[in-house]
């Protein structure tokens, strides 16, 4: 009896399986990398937008402070007290104004400066006066005879957004009014606008350790000078900074690496990046680290991986069913061919005997 060998599975399934594997690898790889690039681009754009929106926010804050300063410059009682050199009277009239804008607008600094750039009155700290002010914003306002604003480091290491407005009475310049906000009053607004967590850092080389400690004590903040080797944190939307987050910030700060990086904080995964922190004079004094919550992205990526595994499982099941089906076809075909061969052999005449 003839026993024919039929190998459909080895010929057909090998090609099908190889094609499935190639298409699956190419499809999943392309989808994964396209998704990753799209997510990274989205977060990169958000962090890039943070730089732009930060500048726009400072413009808005400058307009607000400028309007307040203009109102005070037009107050006759403040004009007469300043021109008369009556510090006590000027304080008595300006202190209620300061308390109002402090609660409403989060203003933390209020100054009256003379033309020689000495401080006539710090409404927020009236015991300190008559010292020479050498900040860029005051110098620029004096030189340009126009409002000047920007972020500046104070003598105590505080990071403050300041606006200095030339003060004219009857067209004559008599001095300058300065208003300011601690950076801590601006970061929550920026966080809300951008939906990002933020950490403002300043290089230690721009600070005096002793004065910084005095500033921390004045603001009732815990001393943090020793927390990092090269920089200090001047403002943060995190309640505290974890050790792992601190290490990542230190590494990127030291290497000036502006690439995105992943880190964890409060059991959340963040995709992060650094933005140069530029003061009013144009000097890069530190970095603003922006953190986008990556948990949803990670969850989406995990779901994508689960979908890949389910797809692979589905393909394996499909391949197995196809193997079984072709196996049945192979057996049926083999039986049919063997039967045909037997039938053919039965009808053929016997070979001639040559002996």
Residue 275: other Cβ atoms inside 10 A: 18
Residue 61: pLDDT band by 50, 70, 90 thresholds? Answer: very high
Q: What is the pLDDT of residues 258-284, one digit of tens each?
A: 677 888 888 888 888 888 889 999 998
Average pLDDT over residues 67-90: 94
**Where is average pLDDT lowest: 146-150, 213-217, 290-294?**
213-217
149 falls within a domain: yes
Q: Model pTM?
A: 0.71
Provide, rounded to the nearest whole percent, the portion of the chain with pLDDT above 70.
83
214 and 275 in a single domain? The answer is yes
Q: What is the pLDDT of residues 9-38, one digit of tens each?
A: 556 666 666 776 777 677 667 766 776 677
24 falls within a domain: no
Domain that holds residue 85: 60-184
66 and 174 in a single domain? The answer is yes
199 and 176 in a single domain? The answer is no
Helix (H) or strand (E) holding 234: strand 231-236
Q: Give the chain's mean pLDDT.
A: 82
96 and 138 in a single domain? The answer is yes
288 and 275 in a single domain? The answer is yes
pLDDT score at 296: 58
Are the CB atoms for 97 and 109 separated by under 8 Å?
Answer: no
Q: Kindly write down the DSSP assignment for every residue of 162-189, as one continuous string.
A: EEEEEEEETTEEEEEEEEEEEGGGTHHH
Q: What is the pLDDT of residues 93-122, one digit of tens each?
A: 999 999 999 999 999 999 999 999 999 999
Nearest-Å Rg of the Cα atoms of the chain is 37
124 falls within a domain: yes
Total structural domains within the chain: 2
318 falls within a domain: no
Inform me whether the pLDDT recorded for 257 exceeds 70.
no
pLDDT score at 355: 47
Helical spans, DSSP H, in the chain: 8, 14-73, 76-83, 87-105, 136-144, 187-194, 209-218, 243-255, 295-347
Nearest CA to 39 out of 261, 309, 294, 302 is that of 294
DSSP designation for 206: G
Are the CB atoms for 90 and 121 separated by under 8 Å?
Answer: yes
């Amino acid at each position: 009896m003839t026993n024919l060998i039929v190998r459909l599975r080895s010929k057909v399934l090998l090609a099908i399986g190889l094609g499935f594997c190639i298409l699956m690898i190419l499809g999943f790889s392309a989808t994964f990398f396209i998704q990753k690039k799209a997510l990274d681009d989205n977060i990169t754009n958000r962090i890039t937008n943070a730089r732009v929106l930060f500048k726009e926010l400072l413009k808005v804050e400058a307009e607000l402070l400028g309007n307040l300063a203009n109102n005070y410059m037009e107050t006759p009682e403040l004009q007469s007290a300043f021109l008369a050199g009556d510090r006590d009277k000027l304080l008595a009239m300006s202190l209620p104004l300061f308390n109002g804008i402090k609660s409403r607008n989060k203003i933390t600094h209020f100054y009256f400066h003379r033309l020689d750039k000495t401080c006539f009155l710090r409404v927020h700290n009236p015991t300190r006066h008559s010292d020479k002010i050498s900040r860029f914003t005051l110098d620029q306002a004096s030189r340009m005879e126009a409002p000047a604003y920007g972020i500046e480091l104070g003598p105590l290491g505080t990071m403050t957004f300041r606006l200095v407005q030339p003060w004219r009475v009857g067209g004559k310049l008599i001095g300058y009014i300065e208003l300011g906000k601690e950076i801590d009053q601006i970061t929550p607004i920026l966080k809300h606008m951008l939906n990002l967590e933020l950490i403002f850092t300043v290089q230690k080389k721009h600070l005096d350790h002793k004065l910084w400690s005095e500033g921390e004590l004045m603001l009732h903040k815990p001393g943090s000078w020793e927390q990092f080797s090269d920089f200090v944190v001047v403002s943060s939307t995190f309640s505290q900074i974890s050790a792992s987050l601190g290490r990542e910030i230190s590494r990127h700060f030291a290497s000036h690496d502006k690439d995105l990086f992943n880190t964890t904080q409060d059991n959340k995964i963040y995709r992060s990046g650094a933005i140069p922190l530029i003061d009013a004079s144009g000097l890069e004094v530190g970095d603003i680290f922006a953190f986008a919550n990556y948990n949803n992205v990670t969850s989406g990526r995990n779901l994508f991986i689960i979908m890949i595994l389910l797809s692979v499982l589905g393909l394996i099941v499909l391949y197995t069913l196809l193997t079984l089906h072709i196996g049945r076809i192979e057996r049926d075909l083999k039986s049919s061919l063997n039967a045909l061969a037997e039938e053919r052999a039965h009808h053929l005449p016997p070979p001639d005997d040559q002996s």
